[in-house]
Amino acid sequence: MSSTYFKRFRMESDLGTPRTVPALPPGYRFVAWNEAVIDVHARTKFRAFRAELDAIVFPCLGSLDGCRRLMREIRGKSGFLPAATWLIARGNTPESLQWCGTIQGVAERGGVGMIQNVGIVPGHRGLGLGRCLVERAVAGFRMHGLGRASLEVTVDNARAMRLYQQLGFRRTRTVYKVVDAAAAESALEPVGAL
């Protein structure tokens, strides 16, 4: 059985200095956490990750069921932070409503806020939404008195690496994720309507 190794960085940013959440582009809005939106987070996560490198590194991200399991797991963590868990939506009528981005945050020991998966649905990328979501989660961490924000990123994910570096995240550790080659191959579900 063959395996693939993916190099990942753990990155951290100090939250000592106050920072502002950039304004969303016109037409977009943040939607706060409540229990009713757990499945919206799962579906948005799936649509953001299903064709991406991280769906190979973490096969659960490549299936809707996997994203639902992951959301239940994140929601069930003792450190789950609603104030660092956000959606971005566009459109005000049921017909025009689009879910564009998702992020979740969890408080860990030692005053660290861990960003879970930040994902922007294709078609809404490159507009600054990813930056806004990360800063919104970071503001939630600060509100809870956390001193540092942390995340893990696959080094080959150039867009994400660039985003985090620009937001002041710096590498603190290198880790390797081992993925069974067969699991990696079956990770990407055919793209269907949601």
Ligand X SMILES: CC(C)(COP(=O)(O)OP(=O)(O)OC[C@H]1O[C@@H](n2cnc3c(N)ncnc32)[C@H](O)[C@@H]1OP(=O)(O)O)[C@@H](O)C(=O)NCCC(=O)NCCS
Which residues sit at the interface with ligand X, rule CB under 6 A? 48-49, 52, 54, 117-120, 125-131, 153, 157-160, 162-163, 166
* Residue nearest ligand X, CB atom distance: 130
Cα distance between residue 35 and residue 30, in whole Å:
16
Considering the complex, state which of residue 12 and residue 54 has its C-beta at the smaller distance from ligand X.
54
Considering the complex, state which of residue 2 and residue 20 has its C-beta at the smaller distance from ligand X.
20
Smallest gap, in angstroms, from Cβ of residue 71 to ligand X? 15
R_g (Cα) of the chain, nearest Å: 16
Smallest gap, in angstroms, from Cβ of residue 129 to ligand X? 4
Are 41 and 104 in contact, with CB atoms under 8 Å apart? Answer: yes
Smallest gap, in angstroms, from Cβ of residue 1 to ligand X? 27
Smallest gap, in angstroms, from Cβ of residue 103 to ligand X? 9
Smallest gap, in angstroms, from Cβ of residue 64 to ligand X? 15
Considering the complex, state which of residue 62 and residue 130 has its C-beta at the smaller distance from ligand X.
130
Burial class (CB in 10 A: 0-12, 13-18, 19+), 75: middle
Q: Which residues pair with 173 in a beta bridge?
A: 10
The 10 Å CB-count burial string (b at 16+, else e) for 27-58 is ebeeeebeeebeeebbbbbbbbbbebbbbbbb
* The pairing of beta strand 80-90 with beta strand 112-115: unpaired
Considering the complex, state which of residue 77 and residue 131 has its C-beta at the smaller distance from ligand X.
131
Considering the complex, state which of residue 61 and residue 83 has its C-beta at the smaller distance from ligand X.
61
